Structure 1
Amino acid sequence: MKKIITSDKAPAPLGPYNQAIEANGTLYVSGQIAIDASTDTLITGDVEKETILVMKNIGYILEEAGYTYSDIIKCSIFIKDMNDFGKINEIYGSYFGEDAPARETVEVARLPKDVSVEISCIAVK
């Protein structure tokens, strides 16, 4: 059985998907971009600010579902420019300790709303 997870603190989906789905003790969080849900403002032009907000949005969804960053087992990071990898990696890494999740980081031609970074994740309890 699946359960739809929605946090008012994270941005509403931009299309026909949900923020997250929980099924059999696993949480699947959809790709998050830098939209501040409290003001409905898209943050662009500063990859560090974008990454911080993306990670916060993931945190809001995790919290709503009763998970934490330490429950994340897999992340997918999509970036517009691989030259930003170091900045993104430093901020991303600050959310995890020694038990960081598995992940991949790929450069893509374009992301929704022309943001610089999008991150999705899978978490288990």
Structure 2
Amino acid sequence: MSNRAIISTPEAPQAIGPYSQAVKVGNTVWLSGQIPLVPDTMELIDGDITAQAEQVFRNLAAVAEAAGGDLNKAVKLNISLTDMNDFAAVNEVMTGFLQQPYPARACVQVAGLPKGVAIEVEAILAI
């Protein structure tokens, strides 16, 4: 018997490829990368990097809740940006969604992201 569970919620965008919103094994949850899609419309949010990052973190929070946790259970975040000049704005948004002590984190600049967005964030939770 497997203790692997697929996590899915309509409160976050549905997968736009062959992947799950999250997978839970035991007390660990791996959240797939989220981009600034609005769940109800599956359209990209309008706005600057702050608006995009807020939507990404709302999406992650919804998946974390569906898994029985919240973003404060995150042990690792991976942030991909197409412009490292957005680093400070994303940090500010992140502090609005997580409390100290913050999880481990990586932030990298990439050449491109799905649908041409400026940010994608994935997370690992321990719940």
Do they fold alike, i.e. is TM over 0.5?
Answer: yes
Distance 2:47 2:57 in 1: 17
State the AA in 2 paired with 1:10. A
Identity over aligned residues, as a percent? 36
Question: Unaligned 5+ residue runs, structure 2?
Answer: none
SS in 2 for 1:18: coil
Q: What TM-score, normalized to structure 1?
A: 0.96
Between the aligned partners of 1:108 and 1:68, the Cα distance in structure 2 is 27
**TM-score, normalised via structure 2 length:** 0.94
- Do the aligned residues in 2 keep the contact of 1:79 with 1:117 (CA within 8 Å)? yes
Q: 1:69 aligns with which of 68, 71, 78?
A: 71
Q: CA deviation digits over 1:11-58, x for unaligned, max 9?
A: 011111000000021000000000001122212551111000000000
Amino acid in structure 2 at the alignment position of 1:109: A
Gap regions ≥5 residues in structure 1: none
Residue 49 of structure 1, aligned match among 45, 48, 51? 51
Aligned to 1:104: 106
CA RMSD, Structure 1 to Structure 2 (Å) = 1.0
Q: Which residue in the other structure is 1:59 paired with?
A: 61
- Cα distance, 1:99 vs structure 2: 1.1
5 Å matches for 1:25-44? 25-44=27-46
